[in-house]
Amino acid sequence: MNIAAMTFRLRASWVHSLKEKRMIVKSLNAQLQNKYHVSAAEIDEQDTHQIIVIGIAAIVPHNAMGDSLMEEISLFVEENCEAEILEETREIR
């Protein structure tokens, strides 16, 4: 059993308040949790309007499944989030 962990650093340049940012974060986290059954949360930059850092983790039975899941999540975030992806990290532990 392994843990697949991902971090996305996103920029939402149109956001002008923490309330707007919170709506984006809550929506993206809920979509990821419902679609992929992963844990997702904002993990950094909570007080910065336009930067969003999301951490995602899932338990996977083997590395191949972890790689596949992370690739699907990466494509999902790219296609379903209006924010620009600045950085993405992946790790299987």
Per domain, the residue ranges of the chain are: 2-92
* pTM metric for this prediction: 0.89
Q: Chain centroid to CA 74: how far?
A: 8
**Amino acid of residue 82:** E
Task: Provide φ and ψ at 44, rounded to 5°.
Answer: -160, 165
Q: What is the pLDDT of residue 48?
A: 87
Q: What is the pLDDT of residue 42?
A: 95
Q: What is the pLDDT of residue 74?
A: 95
Closest CA to 44 of 59, 25, 31: 25
Task: Report residues of the chain scoring pLDDT below 50.
Answer: none
Closest CA to 32 of 70, 68, 3, 82: 70
Q: What is the CATH number of domain 2-92?
A: 3.30.70.1120
**Amino acid of residue 56:** I
